[in-house]
């Protein structure tokens, strides 16, 4: 598996250092991680090998990804909001 990934993190793509901790990421909806207990994985839901940073980031993304995207979309200055578009089209009062 490590070889398949070219000895690099599956998410960040940065190469693993020799003494680096490598995290085996699995689908948490298959094998939920309950706080205070050891993470048990059935072995069939393994997704990839991650570095500490990406493993941590992914955990947050899984928990708060939708909330974060909803939040960011409110401040998306590159994409005009519905209101701005209506004004441009002359449809706004
Ligand atoms: Zn990484
Ligand atoms: Zn599983």
pLDDT above 90 (res 40): no
Domain ranges of the chain: 23-88
Average pLDDT, stretch 79-84? 64
How many angstroms is it from 2 CA to the middle of ligand 2?
19
Q: What is the pLDDT of residues 47-68, one digit of tens each?
A: 999 999 999 999 999 999 999 9
Ligand 1 centroid from CA 34, angstroms: 23
**Ligand that lies nearest to the alpha carbon of residue 44, given by its number in the listed order:** 2
Cα angle for residues 56, 45, 57 (degrees, 5° grid): 10
Q: How far is the CA of 7 from the centre of ligand 1 (A)?
A: 11
pTM: 0.68
| The 3-state secondary structure of 23-71, one letter per residue | EEEECCCCCCCCCCCCCCCCCCCEEEEECHHHHHHHHHHHHHHHHHHHH
Three-class HEC string of 11-31: CCCCECCCCCCCEEEECCCCC
Please report which ligand is nearest the Cα atom of 42.
2
């Amino acid at each position: 598996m490590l070889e398949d990934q070219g000895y690099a993190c599956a998410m960040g793509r940065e190469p693993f250092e020799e003494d680096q901790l490598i995290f085996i990421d699995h689908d948490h909806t298959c094998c939920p991680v309950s706080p205070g207990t050891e993470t048990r994985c059935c072995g069939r839901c393994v997704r990839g090998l991650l570095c500490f940073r990406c493993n941590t980031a992914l955990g947050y993304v899984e928990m708060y990804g939708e909330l974060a995207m909803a939040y960011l979309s409110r401040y998306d200055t590159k994409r005009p909001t519905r209101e701005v578009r209506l004004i441009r089209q002359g449809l706004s009062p």
